[in-house]
Structure 1
């Protein structure tokens, strides 16, 4: 298993992704000052987005059923835990976009090749955000 989203496993027989990209934003507001250069103030974390993309060959790997299962999860609107096969826990994510491009068709119209992109966005607070709220007085006993 490469990764699991909720109860959906990403593996060679379902939806094996070839690319994983993660984009994390941190929000800073710009405060202009008279006669001086502007300052930036950190106001919190922004979006955390993961994009999985790859190519499916339904004769070998997953296809319509696997992508339909992911679409059903997306329609629920629920956040799902995202865990890598190595044990890394990414957090709770929602499916915000699924894009498919079907090419190289059989005579009956079924695609031999399906290129896909799945976009996930974090729906929960990161543990690191909670740790940033602690001060030394919260941790030390004196």
Structure 2
């Protein structure tokens, strides 16, 4: 049976999770990946870099350069570099929440700020840099970059 200290610690952790959770509050949601909301109150991306490529196959011809045959869309990728200031908004768990989504190993629907559905996407990778540390070791600036790839 847990003691009073463990019970109180558990309640405090639950309250912090609710307060610091991925809730955009009254800030507009810039992008939503599954249940994760990118907004000023959570993790805001600085820019959205999208790279789309298209497949063209060679059709060999005698005595001439190969002709090209359009095969269709090939790869579609998005990179979202951003920053979190945990003392200001969002808390320090935003990047960890993204990692939990990535570790689930499933595609998520990507929705833009206007409600447009961009399709299903998977998280290929997350990079993180923590800086401006306080005396207790906690960071005050967290830069991140999320790499997404379109799923089918």
The TM-score normalised by the length of structure 2 is 0.76
Q: How many Å apart are 1:88 and its aligned residue?
A: 1.6
Residues 1:105 and 2:124 are matched in the alignment:
no
Matched ranges for 1:57-136 at <5 A? 57-124=85-152
Count residues with an aligned counterpart: 124
Residues 1:44 and 2:45 are matched in the alignment:
no
Deviation by residue 1:32-81 (Cα, 9 ceiling, x = unmatched)? 43321221112222111111111211111324311111100000011010
Can you give the 5+ residue segments of structure 1 that lack an aligned partner in the other structure? 125-142
Q: How many Å apart are 1:96 and its aligned residue?
A: 0.6
CA distance in 1, matches of 2:91, 2:50: 24
CA distance in 2, matches of 1:47, 1:108: 44
Hey, what does 2:47 align to over in structure 1? 19
Q: How many Å apart are 1:115 and its aligned residue?
A: 1.1
CA RMSD between the two structures: 1.3
The TM-score normalised by the length of structure 1 is 0.81
Q: Which runs of 4+ in 1 moved over 3 A?
A: none
